[in-house]
Amino acid sequence: MAKGSIVAGCLAPHPPHLVYADNPPQNEPESEGGWEQLRWGYDRLRESLSKVDYDVIVILSPHWQTYVGTHFIGLPHCTSKSVDPIFPNLFRFDYDIEIDVDLARAIHDQAKSDGMSVKMMENPDFRVDYGTIVSCHMLRPEWDKPIVSISSNRGMHYYSPEVMQEMMLELGRATSKAIEASGKRCLLVASNSLSHRHFTTETNPPEDMSKEHITSHAMHLWDMRMIELMRAGKSQQILDEMPEFCEQAISEADGGAFSWILSAMGIPEEPAILHGYGTIIGTGNAVIEWPCHEWGDD
Amino acid sequence: MSGEIVKSLVVPAHPHPVLCPEKNEGWQRIRDAYDEARRQIEETDADLIIVYSTLWPSIIGHQIQADPNPEWVMVDADFHDLGSIPYSLQIDTEFAHAWNAANKARGLESRTVAYHGFPIDVGSVVALELLNPGNRIPAVICSTNVYSNRAETTVLAKACMDVVKAQGKKAVAVSVMSLSNRMFTEPIEPHEDRIHSLKDDEWNRKILEFLSEGRLEDIGQLSRTIHDQIRVKKVVAFKPMWWLSAMNDNRNDLTGEVLAYEAIHGAGAAVVVLDPESNGTGDKEYDEDDVEFYGGDRNVLDVEEGDDHGVALHDPTTGDTSFNTDKAPKPVGAYPHARKEGNLLYLSGVGPRQPGDNSIPGGPIRDSDGNSLEYDIKAQTRAVIENVSRILEEAGSSLDKVIDVTSFLVDMDRDFAGYNEVWAETLGKVGPTRTTLAIRALPTPIAVELKVIARA
């Protein structure tokens, strides 16, 4: 069996506003659009990924929050309705998702043997979190690829950003090892925004772009700094600055996905591609691709 | 009609007491305590259960569940292996919508939600499953805003009480929360469960000592300290004591009873019942303002423009003897804030609108469609006097130099007492002459305006 590989990594933010603005048939609410800079960024990402062959999407979402270790969905098929508890006016989505349970279990087992606290989720009534659904839908609206759904262990809140990052670096290494052993070609997805300070009011309609902007200049500076580091291939510097980024930008990277994906990709020194940047209800969001398939072996 | 809180509860949020109490003696004691709390509720004439859940975070203000019959199957994000909890709840939608309106009247961002499939949080499901099986009593559920501070949370409770009183409800107030919330980060066997650390246990026992003495306001004032000491910094801080205290008029002399205190996967879980009867001890001692109206700057999206309340605003006119300040609200016509003649200052009529965003402390008296709204005359009167003070200071004078005031009220019957109370606390101590008139309306949706003459 050929070695498995990570064909690409993506930073794929998940605000439900993006699906709402896209008006897919699975989502009940209807909009007049909005957040085009980001949605066009996703268009470019999809176009780029259309040239890459992959078997499975492996995604870590900060909206499946677990405090007792890292969890993996262990059901082959998940069908239900996802309603965002924070923006239910925007996101009520009927989903039908195939899970690659074999790969999920392989990552679970590898992480466990590496000393991490992990658990498989096999309750058939469980609802997939909306972060996973939004990122996957924006990446691949055909829903024709199975996914591996990984929870966000809240290590930062229990311990510190540094401990969170160490745990996620370990999980990233375990993910990489399990993928390599699986023989599968995987698209890795970190489902998170950058700076994460929201407005606490909503425009009417929510897609009124005349009111959309970053919440503060400091948040903008952090977003641009992180994007520049990604574009320059300075992954190690990102990891070095992650604790400050998490705390000062109230970043959603606190959920661990950003650190995890950099680790799984081997802390790449190759430049990432920025497909789009925009704010959503004040938070900073970037659509980023690391085209690992172009980098060759070592 | 007069409503009241007939009982207040602190209850834990984890699903263990519903799904597997038999696996651990402590979880069973929590379940038994839940059952005892249910029996105590059934002995009252309660007709509403109000749930404030720390496990339902919100960002756009506070959200209130208004689906008359939310139904689904709840699975905990962490403890999914324990099983599922099907739920079918009965929500008092009339109360939910009224609470939402009352929130807005007190300056809060707020909205109702009513969507099929909405995921009711685990804490609310567990609490209502155990306290109110079969939906014997209608319920209402409110989220916890991740950004809300003490003032916002306190006002949320006061808005809720506005409706409890207006609708004559006999309500049970329920805070769904852990005490210390640090769980073990590894799976454990049920028999291994204990409070995560000795420090957490000591703090939990201190909290319970206060609660058993009915000292809700004291716990409220310790909330930030408690959060720093024994709380994992999740999105929702230790806010429920602010809410529960304000639901009980910030009292420190309730009658409290701790029915159980145990560990659930390391977190501090307690069932506490608080009755409104005074235990005869403990006066309240405020360290902080007892805020009535939320005037904080949460409305980031609109702060630059503000609401002109349908009336065009003008820059104050200028002249040799005029005084104007950007620390007072913009005029609604072509006139200055104040004018000096001789050694006297004559102020234009001053209302409570705030400089900058034009908001009205205490809330506007009507909405843009002309519908009457609840408002706080005392908050409006205080804001008027603060505006007067700012204008006087701009002109080199001060509040203690006021010599004559003409006051205008749009509803003398409703507002005179509140206005008079604030007057007594402020200008009443200065001693100007005063005339109070009832008038039909003012240009903006405010209830009070003062016309002031002072020494320069």
Q: What is the mean pLDDT of residues B25-41?
A: 98
Element (H, E) at B272: strand B267-275
**What is the per-residue pLDDT for B303?**
40
Residues above pLDDT 70, as percent of chain A: 99
Task: Tell me if A200 and B117 make a contact (CB, 8 A cut-off).
Answer: no
Chain A residues closer than 8 Å to B187 by CB: 68-69, 117, 119
Q: How confident is the model at residue B282 (pLDDT cuts 50, 70, 90)?
A: low
Closest chain B residue to A158, measured at CA:
B232
Query: Residue B236 above 60 pLDDT?
Result: no
Would you state the pLDDT for residue B299? 44
pLDDT of residue B438: 92
Q: Residue A220: how many CB atoms within 10 A of its CB? A: 17
How many structural domains compose chain A?
Answer: 1
pLDDT single digits (tens) B70-79: 999 999 999 9
* % of chain A beyond a pLDDT of 90: 91
Q: Nearest chain B Cα to A81, which residue?
A: B117
User: Smallest Cβ distance to A203: which of B57, B77, B301?
Assistant: B301
Nearest CA in chain A to B83: A123
**Backbone angle region of A297, left / alpha / beta, with phi > 0 → left and psi within -120 to 50 → alpha:** beta
- The confidence score (pLDDT) of residue B305 equals 47
Higher pLDDT, A288 or B1: A288
SS (H, E, C) A107-151: HHHHHHHCCCCEEEECCCCCCCCHHHHHHHHHHCCCCCCCEEEEE
Res. A257: pLDDT tops 60: yes
- 184-213 in chain A: CB under 8 A from chain B: 198-203, 211
Residues 12-71 of A with CB under 8 A from B: 64-69, 71
Q: How far apart are the first and last CA of chain A?
A: 20
Contact yes or no for A88 and B118 at CB 8 A: yes
For residue B296, list chain A residues with Cβ-Cβ distance below 8 A. Answer: none
* 8 Å CB contact of A157 and B233: yes
| CA-wise closest residue to B180 among B27, B14, B8, B9 | B14
- pLDDT reading at B396 higher than 90: yes
Q: What is the rounded distance in angstroms from the CA atom of residue A286 to the CA atom of residue A276?
A: 6
Which residue segments constitute the domains of chain B, with CATH numbers given? 4-275 (3.40.830.10), 302-455 (3.30.1330.40)
What average pLDDT does the segment A86-114 reach? 98
Each residue's pLDDT tens digit, A43-97: 999 999 999 999 999 999 999 999 999 999 999 999 999 999 999 999 999 999 9
Average pLDDT, chain B: 90
Q: Reply yes or no on whether the pLDDT at A163 is more than 80.
A: yes
Could you give the count of Cα atoms lying within 13 Å of B450 in the half-sphere of its Cβ? 30
Distance from CA of B397 to the nearest CA of A (A): 38
- Contacting residues of A for B228, CB less than 8 Å apart: none
Q: Is the model's pLDDT at B34 over the cut of 90?
A: yes
Q: Assess contact for A118 and A178: CB atoms under 8 A.
A: no
Task: Name which of A232-236, B12-16, B330-334, B377-381 the model is least confident about.
Answer: B330-334
Tell me which chain A residues have a C-beta less than 8 angstroms from the C-beta of B112: none
Q: What percent of chain B has pLDDT over 90?
A: 71
Question: Taking a C-beta distance cutoff of 8 angstroms, is the pair B200, B281 a contact?
Answer: no
DSSP B123-185: HHHHHHHHHSGGGSS-EEEEEEETT--HHHHHHHHHHHHHHHHHTT-EEEEEEE--SS----S
Q: Range of A286's domain? A: 5-294
**Mean pLDDT calculated for residue range A192-202:** 92
How many CA atoms does the CB half-sphere of A249 hold within 13 Å?
A: 29
3-state secondary structure of B230: helix
CATH number where A242 lies: 3.40.830.10
Mind telling me how many Å the CA of B266 is from chain A's nearest CA?
A: 11
The verdict on a CB contact (< 8 Å) between A87 and B117 is: no
Per residue in A114-162, pLDDT (tens digit) is 999 999 999 999 999 999 999 999 999 999 999 999 999 987 777 788 8
The residue among B16, B67, B78, B183 with the most chain A CBs within 10 A of its CB, best to mutate, is B78
Probe site for chain A from B75, B81, B84, B185 (most A CB atoms < 10 A): B185
Three-state SS at B318: coil
Least confident of A190-194, B244-248, B419-423, B441-445: B441-445
